[in-house]
Structure 1
Amino acid sequence: MSTGNIASKKSGGTVSNLTLCGTTLLLGAQSVAHAADTLKRDEKKKKTHDPAIHQQGRPLPAHEEIDVVGQWQHRSPKFTAPLLDTPKSVTIISRELLDQTASHTLVDALRNVPGITMGAGEGGNPVGDRPFLRGFDAQSSTFVDGLRDVGAQSRETFNVEAVEVIKGDSGAISGRAGAGGSIVIDSKMPRLKNSLDASLGFGNAGYKRGTLDGNWQFSRTGAFRLNLMGDDENKAGRGPTEFKRYGVAPSVSLGLGTPDRVTLMYYHMQNDDLPDVGIPYDNPTFNARTDGAPRLMTAGNGAPVKVPFDTWYGLVNRDSDQDSIDMGTLRLEHDFNSHLHIRNTTRYSETSQNDLWTMPDDSQGNIYYGYVYRRLNSRVSTFDTAINQTDFYGTVSLLGFRNQFSTGMEFTREQGKNDTDTAYVNGVNVASGTNFTHCATALAFTSHTCTTLSNPNPNDMWTGDIRRTGNPNSTRMDTKAVYLTDTVTFMPQLLGNFGVRLDNVQSTYRAQAGEYGRGDNLFTYQGGLVYKPARNGSIYASYATSAIPPGNSVGQGADDISLGADRTGNIGSVLKPERDRTIEVGTKWNVLHDRVTLTGALFQIDTTNFKIATASGGISNGGSKRTRGGEVGVSGHITRDWSMTAGYSYLDARLVQAGGSGAAAGLMNGRRAPNTPENSLALWNTYDITPGFKVGSGVYYMGKVYGADSPTAPKYVPGYWRFDIMASYRFLKHYTLQLNIQNLTNKRYFTQAYVTHYALQAAGRTAFVTLNAHF
């Protein structure tokens, strides 16, 4: 599916974007239909050397083709064909769609892609973005401008040009991980023009947000761009939850429009939040009390408990999330000619987290007596990445066939250091005994470590103290990789897409218990055939693989088992990498004079060497998983005034061999995989009522999502429908006033289902007005 249609600006001196396989062509104020007709008339073979492209960066090589509807904005040269001829499911979330839907975070943006869910955090699994693609954790498969960005964080979109979701195994393109796909974030970069965009918004729930995007051309080939953001908002209906963040992103480019270019970018984002803490499940597991307290609830079915919408179990005087990221990037580019290019990118980044937040723990059955244990979750971490990547790409003729190729190498060092904090009351470790965890003593309530299920007070003055646990650990991953991708034109109607990659990864885990290390050589590959029955359509079949080594998330997530020793002495150094493969068939068509793209795909993903617990409590590679599904999509201008971006996804993800220790061995075999909805849908429409007045509406559906599909103790969040609306009015040529109402019906629904303990509730109805200025 391709999401993110072309902007159709008919007046007001605005600019429309047509994307040319990674380069943006700026056109004047004209409709997409007229632009497409003009391009087809002027270039019968859809090739161009328009000088406007020089203003965006390198000249457009002769082999690159205009992809009018697809908005193929991928900055990575590893993709060697236009979107229409790429044998993968790819969704593009354009800047225009981000603005229309007021998607200010990555979580907001990914709502526009069906089949994606967000996983919840805990102590060892940090709070932050944890997307699941086709049922697979993709936290470690997130990239910024083509470079892996593993550090745990909650990402913003103020400096984002587009978000690309590449589905299916992508090991040959991105390296380790990538079973369900990858998420690629493209940053805003300098251009040879002068422009200024600013916005200021206010709304309910204390919503206040301002952004600035300025681009200044200071020489014939040089430009400077600056993006700023400040945001302060509550979460509608969710008690005292508050999110405060600010960001700054300057960048400068030299040599634009010439064969030699240099770009230097810096990004800083910082947040200071009072996090939402979620709602406990009505845990089917019941532990009877012996103190004579009356039982108030019967055993539930694993859904979140039914409490008032604004019930919040945290502690204002204890909870906080303080995270930051700093990222510096240097990119060097050279064009040997219009057919051959080289690019080198160097980056150093550091993310940090200092988080304290309350989990409404349901594990001891307190909820059946009307109590909740306010369990402290914490994380104190730093994570740094140093990476250098070189890409050599272009077009050559080999054995009489046209080859659009990309080859390169990558050297990466990733290192994370983690510790936690511990809660004490009267000098006693709260988590060390049953007095607090079972809400069994008066001190548990007078210290406000425990509270009531139905009427918690977020302003309770917790009387304990926080101490650094002092049990740090660190994980390091060193990667050396070489890769090659190639699109071969066997004949105008038949193309082949091939890719291979070899990664050498070395992992080291250090803790007080000892040091463990391992090394792996990961060979991944992909192959696909594309048949073009017509110029505007393609039918494809592909096969792709990926590999996930132990320690893959470098201590930043939960998509691996630690390299440290488990309770039986088995260590990660004896485990094998997880292996995945995707078989996919699909079709893509540009219709209605290339204004609309239609897509469809069927796929199967098989996972082997899945890491599971054994019956004796150890860890082995005996697990397997299978995901089967399909998706369809439509994106583009249905008429001159009506545009649509829509997609539907069906997923059947099963744990074939799920392991389990003791009596739980084999219990989950054949059950649904967590964080995978069977059905999901995303639809966004806009309609131009007049040249200056636009309205929009969004419909989002997500089926039931399991945290754990256990037959004895299930944990899940129910399915939901959500509706959004938008209206914008342009006036005085340079100004636009935009109204967004999200969750129009004030629907209570849940966005994250953790495997145990709690689910995260979404915001209620949120309305805000934004004044935008463009010069």
Structure 2
Amino acid sequence: MYAAQTERKRTEHSVVGYLTGAMSFAVASAPAMADTKKDAVSATLPEQTVTGTNGFKTDAASGGKFTAPLLDTPKSVTVIPAEVLQGTASVTLTEALRTVPGIAFGAGEGGNPVGDRPFIRGYDAQASTFLDGLRDIGAQSREMFNVESVEVIKGPSGAYEGRGAAGGAVNIVSKTPKLEHFTEGTLSVGNAAYKRATADGNYQIGEHAAFRLNAMAHDAAVAGRDVTSFSRWGIAPSIAFGLGTPTRATLSYYHLQSNDTPDTGIPYNNPDNPKKPPPGPRLSGPGDGSPVGVNRNVYYGLSRDFRRDQMDMGSLALEHDISGSAKLRNITRVSKSRQDYLWTRPDGQFDGNIYYGMVWRRTNSRFSDVNTAANQTELTGKFTSGGIKHSYAVGLEFSREKSRNDTYKVDTGPKCAQGTGVASGYNCTDLFHPNPDDPWAGSIARANNPAETTVRTQSAYVFDTIELSPRWQVNGGLRFDRYSASATTSANAQGVRSSFSRDDNLLNYQLGLVFKPAQNGSIYLAYGTSSTPSGSVAGQGADTSALTPDRSGNRGDVLAPEKNRAYELGTKWNVLDSKLALTAAIFRIETTNARIVQQDGTAAMAGNKRVDGFELGWSGALTNRWQVFGGYTYLKSELRNNGGAGAAFGGTNGTAFPNTPKNSFSLWTTYQPTPKFTLGGGAYYVSKVWGSANPANPKWVPAYWRFDAMAAYRIDKHATLQLNVQNLFDKVYFNQAYASHYASLAPGRTAILTLGIRY
């Protein structure tokens, strides 16, 4: 879709449609240009009509890799449009992704304990997050103030995105300048000291040029949780030239800065190894692996805890329409992200502390810088040869990601051997009545002993959709990555650093066959692959194939890339005069060479794991006043060969994946009883989630239902008042399950009142 078309779409108030399950479609609304410029910010989806164009991408994101209308693309994709982000009051990526079934959220203790870590179809997608089609590797919590839509690509997506992406990938689409004038903003207040303001100004500064500025300030506590708070601000200016002409250029900058008090979570009720009992009487016996039953507002951290993140990113996008059927696009980006935190993890595991009513305050810390430079060039177009129509995309991509991870030295005392309070230097606290204001007087100092990781990638890809006849299409894609990773460890006690490196050639592909029994429907069968090489997270998260040898010193096969493959059969239909999209898909993802620990303690690429699943999706209008979208996902995951050292060998075979709910459901709906009044509601269900399904030491969080509500009133053509109540019934539930030690509590009932203005 070219720039002129994009501008018309914006002035017509078009919206990318959301679709769970098998596919997403473009949707467009009816309001005229004059009404759109003056109407207040809307909290509901406009009346939706599925279009016949490639609605998944405009000029940004993954570009032309989707070479057919998404109705005819054999790939599962979910698109969350701006209207849904606004209607649900989702202001972070995690909040946005909770509307997508089949996604869970993992917790960690190292690289990214409280940031974005989505699991898509059972696989960790932290390192498979993209911004406008380029990988965004830095560990962080992403904001929505400069976001047009969020796209979730499901299943192995190596042909689309390169390394990783075993279960899928997330692509965030940024706001860009348009050829029009508008100024809009929001002011929000709520319980738990919630305060937020956003501004979005777009100004046409010439016949073919425009400037856009987005800004945000946010400060809030967390309902139902003491101490935890989030404070951040951001700014995102961008300027575009040549809009509406064959040659266009867009220069943009993004800055986000946060200063948070992170949440500590709740320990599980069964420890890993209760060896040396602390002093005092035993208060309880072993639990079943669920979180300890304590008050919702207990906080095991200390006032010393902090999290300060910063992101700076500059991008230059160039586009040229070679002809009416071919377009060349290039994007260059330079970014730096910093993660700086000292975070207390409630460690009830060691020595069975929780059985004695105590928790050791274990400190996790990081001072990390990630510098990224990337360039992507893409040619897209259409042609006919021998009577057969082709729609293609060809691209080259180069990137370098370099991380430098340091820590803090913190005096955490002798665990709980001396009991709680002053005897432990306040490093051990009461399980039921912790005090974050304890007069902890230990020392904190930068370690100045960083580990470094560098990842370089050179990539080439090609996609083609071949229309054999009006009813049959073949869709194929091929990507080659020359992947090079190197790592240097922190110095050991003797001051010695170790260095490791590895080069791999990654070849991934996809192939799909599409049958169209009618113009408004399709049935497809697809196959795709992906590769997860060593060091793919660049030191920013959990890496099951880290750049280190096993204990035998073997650095060959045990560091080879994990290979993943997927099969999917799906169907998509546009019904009710193409106002409602319905989808269904069944799929399998399997990894047959996962890196595992063998019985002798060495590593081998011999693991086997599989996810079988089923998805349903719905998106659009049931009537002119009633909008719905949502979906259901069923995932049956199994660690078929998970290894294990010594007596643990084979002990977890047959268990479920961590962070993979068997059933998940989401529904968001809005209804307009009058032109000015809108009612909305959301229902979300997630079944039991395992942190670890190890029968000898399980960790898990229970299933939950969550309900949201929304009401919006259009005061006049410039102003709208919107009330959101999230977690309407104040449900106590856990939204993250770590593999050991702790689980994270979700916020309680949160009410947010927002005034939206648009001129």
- TM-score tier (shorter): over 0.9
Aligned AA (2:653):
N
Choose the corresponding residue for 2:655, options 671, 675, 691: 671
- RMSD of the TM alignment (CA)? 2.3
Contact persistence 1:19–1:72 (CA under 8 A): no
Contact persistence 1:215–1:226 (CA under 8 A): yes
Structure 2 distance, partners of 1:366, 1:565, is: 34
- Matched with 1:359 is 345
SS at match of 2:160: helix
Q: Which digits, 9 at most, give the CA deviation of each residue in 1:376-417, with x for residues without a partner?
A: 000110001100100001101123211110001011101111
Residue 372 of structure 2 is aligned to residue 394 of structure 1 = no
- Matched with 2:309 is 323
Structure 1 distance, partners of 2:669, 2:29, is: 24
1:100-499 mapped onto 2 (5 Å cutoff): 100-283=87-270, 285=272, 287=274, 289=276, 293-316=280-303, 318-364=304-350, 365-424=352-411, 430=412, 436-440=414-418, 445-499=423-477
1:71–1:411 Cα change, 3 Å: closer
Greater shift, 561-570 or 170-179, is seen at: 561-570
1:572–1:253 Cα change, 3 Å: farther
Choose the corresponding residue for 2:745, options 742, 753, 761: 761
Structure 1 distance, partners of 2:478, 2:60, is: 23
Structure 2 distance, partners of 1:507, 1:632, is: 39
Aligned length: 728
SS at match of 2:85: helix
Q: Which digits, 9 at most, give the CA deviation of each residue in 1:575-618, with x for residues without a partner?
A: 21000000000000000000000000000001022111222222
Displacement, 1:561?
Answer: 2.8
SS at match of 2:730: coil
Q: Which digits, 9 at most, give the CA deviation of each residue in 1:129-153, with x for residues without a partner?
A: 0100000011111110011111100
1:657–1:320 Cα change, 3 Å: same
SS at match of 1:109: helix
Displacement, 1:462?
Answer: 1.1
Q: Which digits, 9 at most, give the CA deviation of each residue in 1:555-589, with x for residues without a partner?
A: 01114332134544344785210000000000000
1:371–1:752 Cα change, 3 Å: same
Q: Which digits, 9 at most, give the CA deviation of each residue in 1:75-125, with x for residues without a partner?
A: 521111111011011111000000000000000000110010111021245
Displacement, 1:309?
Answer: 1.1
Displacement, 1:732?
Answer: 2.5
Aligned AA (1:689):
P
Choose the corresponding residue for 1:588, options 567, 572, 580: 572
- Matched with 2:597 is 613
1:380–1:298 Cα change, 3 Å: same
Structure 2 distance, partners of 1:740, 1:584, is: 37
Contact persistence 1:564–1:572 (CA under 8 A): no
Structure 2 distance, partners of 1:88, 1:620, is: 32
1:743-758 mapped onto 2 (5 Å cutoff): 743-758=727-742
1:307–1:14 Cα change, 3 Å: farther
- Matched with 2:7 is none
Contact persistence 1:72–1:83 (CA under 8 A): no
Contact persistence 1:562–1:572 (CA under 8 A): no
Residue 676 of structure 2 is aligned to residue 692 of structure 1 = yes
Displacement, 1:34?
Answer: 8.3
- Matched with 1:79 is 66
- Matched with 1:53 is none
Aligned AA (1:309):
R
Displacement, 1:26?
Answer: 7.8
Structure 2 distance, partners of 1:125, 1:322, is: 12
Displacement, 1:460?
Answer: 1.1
Structure 2 distance, partners of 1:361, 1:324, is: 28
Structure 2 distance, partners of 1:771, 1:651, is: 40
SS at match of 2:227: coil
Structure 1 distance, partners of 2:278, 2:92, is: 47
Structure 2 distance, partners of 1:288, 1:126, is: 27
Contact persistence 1:121–1:128 (CA under 8 A): no
Aligned AA (1:468):
R
* Identity among equivalent pairs (%): 50
Q: Which digits, 9 at most, give the CA deviation of each residue in 1:679-705, with x for residues without a partner?
A: 000000100111110010000000000
Structure 2 distance, partners of 1:106, 1:211, is: 16
Q: Which digits, 9 at most, give the CA deviation of each residue in 1:243-271, with x for residues without a partner?
A: 00001000010000100000001101011
Q: Which runs of no fewer than 5 residues in structure 1 stay unpaired?
A: 1-12, 40-45, 47-64, 425-429
Contact persistence 1:69–1:596 (CA under 8 A): no
Structure 2 distance, partners of 1:475, 1:572, is: 19
TM-score by length of 1: 0.91
- Matched with 1:510 is 488
Structure 2 distance, partners of 1:278, 1:774, is: 40
TM-score by length of 2: 0.92
Aligned AA (2:474):
G
Greater shift, 692-701 or 68-77, is seen at: 68-77
Q: Which digits, 9 at most, give the CA deviation of each residue in 1:129-183, with x for residues without a partner?
A: 0100000011111110011111100000000000001101110111111111110
- Matched with 1:740 is 724
1:761–1:531 Cα change, 3 Å: same
Structure 1 distance, partners of 2:662, 2:656, is: 9
Contact persistence 2:82–2:147 (CA under 8 A): yes
Structure 1 distance, partners of 2:278, 2:11, is: 71
- Matched with 1:628 is 612
- Matched with 1:728 is 712
Aligned AA (2:336):
E
Structure 1 distance, partners of 2:539, 2:47, is: 51
Greater shift, 291-300 or 747-756, is seen at: 291-300
Structure 2 distance, partners of 1:290, 1:327, is: 51
Contact persistence 2:359–2:428 (CA under 8 A): yes
1:134–1:731 Cα change, 3 Å: same
Structure 2 distance, partners of 1:313, 1:400, is: 69
SS at match of 2:355: helix
SS at match of 2:405: strand
- Matched with 2:13 is 16
Displacement, 1:452?
Answer: 0.3
Aligned AA (2:633):
S
1:471–1:568 Cα change, 3 Å: farther
Aligned AA (1:371):
M
SS at match of 1:77: helix
Q: Which digits, 9 at most, give the CA deviation of each residue in 1:6-43, with x for residues without a partner?
A: xxxxxxx995315599999785349999885xx9xxxx
- Matched with 1:713 is 697
